[in-house]
Amino acid sequence: MTVQIALSAPNIVGESVVWDDVRNQLLWVDIVGKSIHAFCPETGDYGRWDTPDFVTSIGLRRDGGAIVAFTKSICFWDYEDQFQVFAQIESEVPDNRLNEGVVGPDGAFWAGTMQNNIAADGSPSEITKDTGQLFRVTADGQVQRVSNDMFGITNTLIWAPNGRLVTADTLKNEIYSYAIDPETNQLTDRKVIVDGFERGLPDGSAIDAEGYIWNCRVVGGSCLLRFRLDGQIDRVVELPCSWPTSCVFGGENLETLFVTSARFTMEESHLKAHKHEGALFAVNVGVKGLPCNRFGY
């Protein structure tokens, strides 16, 4: 199993990487860097767009564009400088912000919130309470809260072959499995499937063609964790970064697992000694992935 540096991009908080199988490129965001990034592994072509606010997640649309989440708003984006707002999340909770956001197999954008840990100048702020919740946003702008459960940091949104949703609370170091009510989209029957894994904390995830989940272990975890839907750990893959944040299968035949990383809160002395913090990595994990879902009806 080999790990390569796909792009030496010093993202502050690289996140929410997706694979566009039409454009043959990766898209991801740098939350604190207020920017969207695109990279074609085959050609090396790279693009960057600055954003007007902290940009928290990105997804693909069925019409060829993208959907982008900021601190409070969710927007349509067409690879230019304009962002068309079509939904707002938790406007009544000023201290919260959006965090994880992933397009589901139902064509909706599922997003989680958290207490805002980023000050206006981009410096870190302390999280003092569990205020995060999970929402489902449809193409007509309807916003639905899908659970009453509260999270410290919402992360990971994976729709498993058994019909359940896998998600995580980074602060609690727990990964959950929920049943999804097909009529109401409400989450029920929560089960803790990974609890207290000793390396880092759970961040973003991807699912492979064999039904196993790959989870990035942020906050010093320096690895990927592969586990079954019942939580049984299959393997651990070492990475040359401290804070891997999100991952997606991409490239030819979806055979490469691409991983974003972060350098947020790290000391300059650490960054000088670890030059790959914040980079984009390509990992040959020996298994294929699944295509990303697209937003819309």
5 near 280, Cβ under 8 Å?
A: yes
- Per-residue pLDDT, 250: 98
pLDDT score, position 272:
77
In 14-142, the DSSP E strands lie at 14-20, 25-30, 35-39, 46-50, 57-61, 66-69, 73-77, 83-88, 96-103, 109-115, 134-137
CA pair distance 288, 281, nearest whole angstrom: 16
pTM exceeding the 0.85 threshold for the entire prediction: yes
The pLDDT of residue 268: 80
Distance in angstroms (rounded) separating the CA atoms of residues 45 and 23: 11
d(CA 48, CA 28): 10
- How confident is the prediction along the chain (297 residues), in pLDDT tens digits per residue? 799 999 998 899 999 999 999 999 999 999 999 999 999 999 999 999 999 999 999 999 999 999 999 999 999 999 998 999 999 999 999 999 999 999 999 999 999 999 999 999 999 999 999 999 999 999 999 999 999 999 999 999 999 999 999 999 999 999 999 999 999 999 999 999 999 999 999 999 999 999 999 999 999 999 999 999 999 999 999 999 999 999 999 998 999 999 999 988 777 887 777 788 899 999 999 999 999 999 996
In the chain the domains, ranked by start, together with CATH numbers, are 2-295 (2.120.10.30)
